[in-house]
Structure 1
Amino acid sequence: MSNKENTSEEIDLGQLFKMIGDGFKKLFNLIGNIFKGIFHALVLFLQYIRAHFIKFAIAGLVGVGIGWYWDSVSDPIYRSNMVVEPNFNSVQQLYNNIEFYNDLAKEKEFQSLAEALGVEQELASTIKKFKIESFSDQTQRIKQFSDFISQLDTISQQKVDYEDYLKNFNDINSRFHKITVEATNPTVAKKSQRSIIRSIETNEYFQLQKKINELNLSVQDSVLTSQIKEVDSLQGFVKKLKLLEANKAESSTSISMGEGKSDENLEIQLLNQASRFKAEIVALNKERAKTQNTINIISEFPQKGVRVNEFFRKKKVLLPILLIGLVLITLSLLSLNSFLKTYSNTKA
């Protein structure tokens, strides 16, 4: 009986191993067929390129020639960057203004653009593009997340993590933003800088926010200064009491505030409180400096922009690629048309 069971188990195991082997064989054959198909398609494509190589070469040479001439007669493009830090939630207005300038440049509304930027129309006509984007790295985002968390209550802090914060993070949430101007005149960006900033600063809403912020900071500064004076008075009072206690240590009518340790603890507490108030004043001064302007300029536009010399923006590079692509599409459509005609005749 046991011999039959062993034989049956050996047969089952043999069938199992055979099935596994067949499965691997099919998998390897499938992978091999895929690679063969890719190789075959590559060979056909290379044969197709070889058959029409002269056409592609002519298209490429024509594109290089036209592109080189186009580059030589075109005015060079200069790029200027400025990094700013908007305050009082003015970043959305800044983005809207930059998009408005860019639309005017695209539509060639140079008179309106010149009026908006406070420059001559001739200078405004040299502007090709306006762009604004966030300017932040991982360190800045972590710091912004820390500042955001510190403003929440304990329960809300437990419900928000860094990953959730990043999912809802967009360009407007960034602290710094980079404004880019591309123009054929290298100085137009610098001449437009003041008007770009003033377009935000002259906004009545932001002016009101700035005024309220200054009043709030002044009130906080007065309160902290008053509290520091009170702490200084208490420290002087404690010192006088200690002197009285030292002079009348043996008198039964001496004024006492308790044990020496209590006096020391009180002095330490007053010193710590004074240090905290002074630290708050330092932070207040930093906040006052940061919010002195509606838009803080971190890095101004340079006096002259940098010439744009990117490889894939050159016409002598783009045109050959474009013409070769057009030739490839045209020949492919012709080949497809011939195949369809042959296929139709065969079926008929």
Structure 2
Amino acid sequence: MSKDLPQPQQSEEVDLGQLFKLIGNAFSNFFHFIGSIFNKLFLAFVWLVFFVKKHILKLAIAGIVGIVLGIVLEKTSEPVYKSYITLKQNYDTGENLYNTIGYYKDLVKQMDTGTLEKVLGVATEEAKSILDFGIEPLISENEKLTEYDEYLQTLDTAVARTVDYKTFLKNVKDYSHQYQQITIKAKERKNFKTVFRKIIENIESNVYFKREQEKDLRELKEQVSAISKSLIKSDTLLAVYQRAIVKSAENNSDSPAQITIAANRGNMNSSKEFELYKKDLELRQELVEIEREIADKEHIIEITSSKQDSGTIDNKKELFDIKMGSKRYYAIILTGLTFAVLLSLRFVRFLEQYKDKI
């Protein structure tokens, strides 16, 4: 019976050998697969280089034609004027503002000049001349980092560790930033100021924002009234302390004991006077801050800067979110189209090789 015991060990050794062999083959096939991918990519790159080399003259001609076309269109087409304003939001008007600009933008796309004329309060010809609206936040990378740091300070430590900078930026809406820039493009340059003013009026006439403004101003003015009353009482009490110090100094005698008692009383009154003086300064500083806040709240949204009320000529084209001149734009477009056509013809010839096999 003992002679039969080694047999299971031999079976286990055979199974382990086969297992290692299978693992080795799997790794070998995997690396061979990766190598074949890189090899095919390299071959495709080489083929593309020779393809471009073969048709370089055609692509160059297409680029030159694009440059010439861009020059001709710049000279012959109507000029496009562009103007913009920078706004400061004193209330959470961002979402409403973006929806409003999006609505105007859709009206322009639909060529609904009648509705655009009514909502903007401009003449028909001026409404027809508007080509586009745009809005974007004005915020630097440093300001984004500052907002991120301030946001983390409002969170619990454990939660803050789970929020990285990219996640924060992903969840922050463009309209939430305080400063926004509105852009208008038009064929005429005389209606920019009117349109900008109407956009602001439409936001400020919103019933919700007006009601919030009234509540905020009422609350702030009540705070000013309360602080002003406190300052009057503080000034009265300060005058009392000052008179007490003077009276104490006048009534003291030449006796050392009485001089000491008067000095102690004077020090006590001086200490209270100093504390009262500090409190008075704090109240006055708070009053200044509240008055500044009242000045901000008096405008729901306000213009911080306005550039080119009459507009400037804008000949820039946009391709893949990159702005460029007309010559470069049409050169890239025509070269790309030529390349796509040549590549399509080459692909069709490749497929014709298998026509007889179908």
TM superposition score category, shorter chain reference: 0.7 to 0.9
Is the 8 Å Cα contact of residues 91 and 172 (structure 1) preserved in structure 2?
Answer: yes
Match of 2:74 in 1: 71
- Describe the shift of the 1:99–1:160 C-alpha distance in structure 2 as closer, same or farther (beyond 3 A): same
Mapping for residues 275-286 of structure 1, pairs under 5 Å? 275-286=281-292
Tell me which of 104, 127, 131 is aligned to 1:128. Answer: 131
Question: Which amino acid is 1:74 matched to?
Answer: S
Compute the displacement of 1:313 (Å). 4.8
Question: Which amino acid is 2:131 matched to?
Answer: K
Is the 8 Å Cα contact of residues 248 and 266 (structure 2) preserved in structure 1?
Answer: no
Looking at structure 2, the residues matched to 332 and 51 of structure 1 have their Cα atoms a distance apart, in angstroms, of 12
Looking at structure 2, the residues matched to 147 and 61 of structure 1 have their Cα atoms a distance apart, in angstroms, of 53
Report SS of the residue matched to 1:80: strand
Question: Which amino acid is 2:300 matched to?
Answer: T
Match of 1:13 in 2: none
Match of 2:94 in 1: 91
Residue 306 (structure 2) pairs with residue 300 (structure 1): yes
Residue 233 (structure 2) pairs with residue 230 (structure 1): yes
Compute the displacement of 1:239 (Å). 1.2
Report SS of the residue matched to 2:293: helix
Q: Deviations over 1:93-125 (max 9, x none)?
A: 111111111111111111211221111111111
Match of 1:340 in 2: 351
Give me the CA root mean square deviation. Answer: 3.5
Report SS of the residue matched to 1:303: strand
Question: Which amino acid is 1:294 matched to?
Answer: I
Looking at structure 1, the residues matched to 208 and 56 of structure 2 have their Cα atoms a distance apart, in angstroms, of 65
Looking at structure 1, the residues matched to 268 and 145 of structure 2 have their Cα atoms a distance apart, in angstroms, of 42
Residue 323 (structure 2) pairs with residue 317 (structure 1): no
Tell me which of 230, 239, 246 is aligned to 2:249. Answer: 246
Q: Deviations over 1:19-73 (max 9, x none)?
A: xxxxxxxx9xx99x969974x6555334323333443344344444444433332
Looking at structure 1, the residues matched to 175 and 63 of structure 2 have their Cα atoms a distance apart, in angstroms, of 44
Residue 183 (structure 2) pairs with residue 180 (structure 1): yes
> If the length of structure 2 is used for normalisation, what is the TM-score?
0.75
> If the length of structure 1 is used for normalisation, what is the TM-score?
0.77
Looking at structure 2, the residues matched to 163 and 130 of structure 1 have their Cα atoms a distance apart, in angstroms, of 34
Looking at structure 1, the residues matched to 113 and 263 of structure 2 have their Cα atoms a distance apart, in angstroms, of 79
Compute the displacement of 1:158 (Å). 8.7
Tell me which of 104, 107, 112 is aligned to 2:107. Answer: 104
Structure 1, unpaired ranges of 5+: 1-26
Match of 2:277 in 1: 271
Compute the displacement of 1:185 (Å). 1.4
Looking at structure 2, the residues matched to 145 and 270 of structure 1 have their Cα atoms a distance apart, in angstroms, of 39
Match of 1:18 in 2: none
* Residues matched between the structures, number: 314
Residue 294 (structure 2) pairs with residue 288 (structure 1): yes
Match of 1:190 in 2: 193
Report SS of the residue matched to 2:309: coil
Match of 1:328 in 2: 339
Question: Which amino acid is 1:305 matched to?
Answer: G
Looking at structure 2, the residues matched to 36 and 313 of structure 1 have their Cα atoms a distance apart, in angstroms, of 35
Mapping for residues 148-187 of structure 1, pairs under 5 Å? 160=160, 168-187=171-190
Match of 1:22 in 2: none
- Describe the shift of the 1:84–1:114 C-alpha distance in structure 2 as closer, same or farther (beyond 3 A): same
Compute the displacement of 1:232 (Å). 0.9
